[in-house]
Amino acid sequence: MSRDKEHGPDSQPAISHLMRREIQAPLAACIISGFGSVVGRDKAIEVATAAIQADALEAGRMTAKKYGKNSLRELSRVVREVWCEGDALVIRMQEESDERLSFDVTRCGYVGLYDSMGLREFGFCLSCSRDEPFARGFNPRIRLLRTQTIMQGAPHCDFRFILDQG
């Protein structure tokens, strides 16, 4: 998988986040399935998830550099400008402060994308598993607490980013 580069506040991406996933998903699913036939499906998804999370960690670091700051206010901008671009996500903001960024995703275009491609079984691995390491890369003091995702059948995703004071 190619390095997932987020874009900065003064530039536009060549393609949207959702389109990037649409391009990556078929090849990633093919590789995961191929390895799954050798090492078992669960092990293949576990290894793929670890690699995707390492990529997300680096993408978070790169995005913080491009935005020039790595506070929750900048992360909120990333959510709105990058993650939600093209109505990929519809969010309901709960709290936005220097210590907390809390929102619910009420509609997820990634679910629809993976469903339309017949790849929903890989959706959490390919997309949702990126969120926590991306936040950690963006700022090592930011923690994501999330108990549910639409991808896994919940009615909404509950994103709760908290800035550790330590």
Distance CA 133, CA 108 (A): 19
DSSP string, 25-92: HHHHHHHHHHHHHHH-HHHHHHHHHHHHHHHHHHHHHHHHHHHS--SHHHHHHHIIIIITGGGSEEEE
Give the rounded distance of the alpha carbon of 100 from its chain centre.
18
DSSP 129: G
Identify the pLDDT of residue 14. Answer: 73
The fold of 17-163 is Muramoyl-pentapeptide Carboxypeptidase; domain 2 (3.30.1380)
Distance CA 79, CA 94 (A): 14
Q: 147 is written with which tokens?
A: 């108990």
Choose among 129, 122, 132, 137: nearest CA to 42. Answer: 122
Identify the pLDDT of residue 4. Answer: 42
Question: In tens digits, what is the pLDDT along the chain, a chain of 166 residues?
Answer: 344 444 444 455 478 989 999 999 999 999 999 999 999 999 999 999 999 999 999 999 999 999 999 999 999 999 999 999 988 999 999 999 999 999 999 999 999 999 999 999 999 999 999 999 999 999 999 999 999 999 999 999 999 999 998 6
Distance CA 78, CA 66 (A): 11
Identify the pLDDT of residue 33. Answer: 95
Give this prediction's pTM.
Answer: 0.87
Sheet holding 157-163, edge to edge: 89-96, 100-108, 157-163, 142-145
Identify the pLDDT of residue 8. Answer: 46
Identify the pLDDT of residue 81. Answer: 93
For 74-84, b/e burial (b = at least 16 CB within 10 A) is bbbbbbebbbb
Domain ranges of the chain: 17-163
